[in-house]
């Protein structure tokens, strides 16, 4: 099972709640592999804290500037 959370979902639900949710799912269903994916982390700190809270996969999205709205100045 792959569970996915965006930066917005993490802000809404709280990392502690999500970490406990993962732990509970693993405890209840130890025979089912579970991983947690951060989708579109907007900076290194966001990705690092996701990993610290047990996310097993992160996707770094560098397409926007710090304001989270303005496209970055470079091409991909």
Active site residue ranges = 39
Alpha-helix residue ranges (DSSP H) falling in 1-76? 7-13, 15-28, 44-52
β-strand 35-41 against 57-60: which pairing, if any?
parallel
- DSSP-assigned beta bridge partners for residue 11: none
Calpha distance 20→53 (Å, rounded): 9
């Amino acid at each position: 099972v792959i569970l996915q959370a965006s930066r917005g979902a993490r802000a809404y639900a709280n990392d502690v709640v999500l970490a406990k949710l993962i732990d509970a799912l693993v405890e209840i269903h130890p025979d089912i592999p579970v991983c947690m994916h951060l989708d579109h982390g907007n900076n290194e700190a966001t990705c690092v804290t996701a990993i610290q809270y047990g996310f097993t996969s992160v996707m770094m999205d560098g397409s926007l500037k710090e304001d989270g709205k303005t496209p970055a100045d470079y091409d991909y």
